[in-house]
Amino acid sequence: MPLPRARLAFVLVTALLGLGAGPLSGEPSPTPPSAVLPRLVSEGHAPAAAMLSVSPSASQFQAAGSGIRRADRFRAGSVTKTFVATVVLQLAAEGRLHLDDPVGRHLPGTVPPRAGRTVTLRALLTHTSGLPDYTTGSSLHTASAPTAREAVRRALATRAYGPPGHYRYANTNYVLLGLVIERVTGRPYAVEAGRRVIDRLRLTGTSFPGARTTLPPPHGRAYDAAGRDVTALDPRTAWAAGELISTMDDLNRFYAALLSGRLLPPPQLRQLLDTRPANGRYAMGVYPRRLSCGTTVWGHNGHITGSYVRTATTSDGRRTVTFRVNTNAVPLGTLRTLEPALLEAEFCRTNRLSP
């Protein structure tokens, strides 16, 4: 039985605390993905785990446990940030905004005056703004959780700011970028991302739900850490920081297109992959991971109630992999071990077997 809307919003907020945690570290594994996936079920307590890998010559879907099909829609959490960053960089390429614009130029009155003058769009994109994360703290733990916009306004007015210029992941940054897109284009950020990315790439399983609590069919079930069915959720607390719904095929197609240059001109693609502002930890809506075989893969993760997903692709977009579980119950320590093992198994084994 679906949870009431107010409780669903609360559950979603608690998951957003760990949404998009960033790169995970761990020991590389020479084992194939088929040997790692079952460990997400046996050690990670996931009802099911699945992986879809795509190369120029083939695609392969693998699953462990039961409850995930290749065509299923699911909540992709902070993968939303890559879509938002792509639209912002497209607008920069068109000259409709500049990455060094202060936030206050586009959102006057939204942030305190000093931050409005000094925090740039580049700092929002790279999580170096120092702005407080609206998903942390007790103010969201109410009977009816606020929307992302309301929660961001409250956090900016009441919480301590960190030092600017230092990497600190904050969902606030991407809610503000969603608002910037709306101010610059005159359209909802989801409409703009749909027009510029989803429709262009024909991502037929990808959508922004808005206030819709249900997943479009086909979909499986999603479970929280207590084993409760949380397939239906109010996504408004996540908004531009994490509301995306997608499929494994669509995420692979999106990241492959992005890294291969189909969505951004070369100057903006270089900016997308520039990790210098965040000291190598994050770029703009994507982050790198260098594998033991010398390959660097780019992508993002998404961690939201009922779901964890990770997509990674080579710098040319030719090899891409997405894996997911249908719960947020997998312990972080287990993810720190098994996520790198899956990436190593997929990209490094493939490299060794290639001519």
Is-contact 188 146, C-beta < 8 A?
A: no
Of the pLDDT bands very low, low, confident and very high (cuts 50, 70, 90), residue 136 is confident
Q: Residue 34's pLDDT band (boundaries 50, 70, 90)?
A: confident
Q: Which CATH architecture has domain 5-353?
A: 3-Layer(aba) Sandwich (3.40)
The pLDDT of residue 30 = 56
Catalytic residue among 29, 53, 78, 246: 78
> Mean pLDDT, the chain, as a whole number?
90
For residue 66, indicate whether it is catalytic.
Answer: no
Contact 348, 54 (CB under 8 A): no
pLDDT in tens, 167-208: 999 999 999 999 999 999 999 999 999 999 999 999 999 999
Mean pLDDT of 311-335: 96
Would you state the structure tokens that stand for residue 29, as one six-digit string? 């594994």
- Model confidence at 260, pLDDT cuts 50, 70, 90, reads very high
Q: What is the residue extent of each domain of the chain?
A: 5-353
Q: What is the DSSP string of 163-214?
A: PTTS----HHHHHHHHHHHHHHHSS-HHHHHIIIIIHHHT-TT-B--TT--S
> Average pLDDT in the 219-233 region?
96
Q: Which residues, in sequence order, are CB contacts of 51 under 8 Å at separation 6+?
A: 33, 37, 61, 62, 63, 321, 322, 323, 324, 342, 346
* Mean pLDDT value of segment 234-241: 95
Instruction: Give the model's pLDDT for residue 202.
Output: 98
10: pLDDT strictly greater than 60: no
Strand 74-77 and strand 59-65: the pairing is unpaired
For the question of whether the overall pTM of this predicted structure is more than 0.85, the answer is: yes
pLDDT computed for residue 26 by the predictor: 47
Q: Give the residue from 311, 302, 201 showing the smallest Cα distance to 251.
A: 311
Residue 144 has pLDDT above 70, yes or no: no
Distance CA 295, CA 117 (A): 39
Give me the pLDDT at residue 31, please: 72
Q: What is the pLDDT of residue 4?
A: 38
Work out the average pLDDT over 290-312. Answer: 96
Q: What is the mean pLDDT of residues 320-325?
A: 98
Which residues, in sequence order, are CB contacts of 265 under 8 Å at separation 6+? 93
CA pair distance 96, 196, nearest whole angstrom: 15
Sheet holding 48-54, edge to edge: 59-65, 48-54, 320-325, 307-314, 296-304, 287-290
pLDDT at 21 (0 to 100): 47
Among 140, 141, 144, smallest CA distance to 7 is for: 144
Alpha helices in the chain (DSSP H): 5-16, 33-42, 80-93, 103-106, 113-118, 121-125, 148-158, 171-185, 189-193, 199-201, 248-259, 266-272, 332-343, 349-353
